[in-house]
Amino acid sequence: MSASASGYAWYREYRHGLLTHGYCLAFVEGLSPAEYLARLAADAHENCDGMDAYLERDMRFQDAQEDFGDQTLVGATAVRGSGGPWTLAVEINGLVGIDEQLMPPASRGTRIFAHYLNINALRCFYWWQDGEQRTAFESPWQRYGSMPDGLLPAMARVGYDLSDPETAYDEPVKLGTPGLFALAEELTGVRVSPELLDTSVYTTGIVTMPVPEPARVVIDVTDAHGDRFHREFR
């Protein structure tokens, strides 16, 4: 039986709407929590027994930050999914799991699925595998990556209807964030629940976010006399 978005209606009310303010969940196949954090070059910290302890640790971490966003606390826990062990990585107001510099090396030799929501209701889904971004989307109608159609069968099973272009704007609203939870479950076999989040033991680490690559513009023009102007701006 396929996963269903209706099974994740709880996310809105979980801990008084905690997840609606911003989260990132990453599902990592075959790596332990410590191995995943090591691939992120995380500064290892103490384990947190349960969500209460993890949120307290996150609050202390946030209070100590001078520049918000330079670093992110990641809590990772071992779970069972399709084909064997997975790691579920939880971030509150983080985006490590969708970072286009961190995830390619972290996914070498394995698969990582991640979904993300921010306080402005921007939500997206990513599939990383063997060092590349296979599929990513904000709207299910506008997919990109090396295999933009690679998730279509799984998306159809959980209720995405991409048969009619006229539904392009209705589809994200219909399934919303619960649809991303359902798609992750369909792909990994990991069912996230309030009980799982509340009772897991989280291996934690602080990840330094990479400096964004500067935008690059190249002007290369040859005039009518054959004189060439070439300059790169960042």
The 10s digit of each residue's pLDDT in 197-216 is 999 999 999 999 997 665 55
* 47: exposed, middle or buried (Cβ count in 10 Å: 0-12, 13-18, 19+): middle
The DSSP secondary-structure symbol of 3 reads -
Whose CA is closest to 33, among 204, 160, 159? 204
Instruction: Return the top range by mean pLDDT from 62-71, 74-83, 157-166.
Output: 74-83
Please state, in angstroms and rounded to a whole number, the distance separating the CA atoms of residues 142 and 182.
19
Tell me the per-residue pLDDT of 163-199, one tens digit each, with 9 for 90 and over. Answer: 876 665 555 557 899 999 999 999 999 999 999 999 9
Mean of the pLDDT values across residues 40-53? 96
Give the integer Cα–Cα distance in Å for 96 and 188. Answer: 19
pLDDT of 211 reads 76
pLDDT in tens, 81-96: 999 999 999 999 999 9
CA angle 111, 113, 118 (to 5 degrees): 150
The structure tokens listed for 120 are 């402005």
**Unique residue bearing structure tokens 């599929």:** 135
Who's near 12: CB < 8 A, 6+ residues apart? 19, 20
- pLDDT for res 161: 85
Q: What is the mean pLDDT of residues 40-52?
A: 96
pLDDT at 70 over 80: yes
Residue 225: pLDDT band (50, 70, 90) is low
Q: Distance from CA of residue 142 to its chain's centroid?
A: 17
Confidence band of 23 (pLDDT split at 50, 70, 90): very high
User: Would you place residue 43 in the very low, low, confident or very high pLDDT band (cuts 50, 70, 90)?
Assistant: very high
CB crowding 88-101: b at 16 or more within 10 Å, else e:
bbbbbbbbbbbbee
Predicted local confidence at residue 167, as pLDDT:
62
Residue 153, token pair as written in the block: 């069968």
Q: In angstroms, how far apart are the furthest CA atoms of the chain?
A: 73
Residue 63 pLDDT level (bands cut at 50, 70, 90): confident
Buried b vs exposed e over 143-169: b needs ≥16 C-beta within 10 Å? bebeeeeebeebbebbbbeeeeeebee
* Higher pLDDT pick, 117 / 219: 117
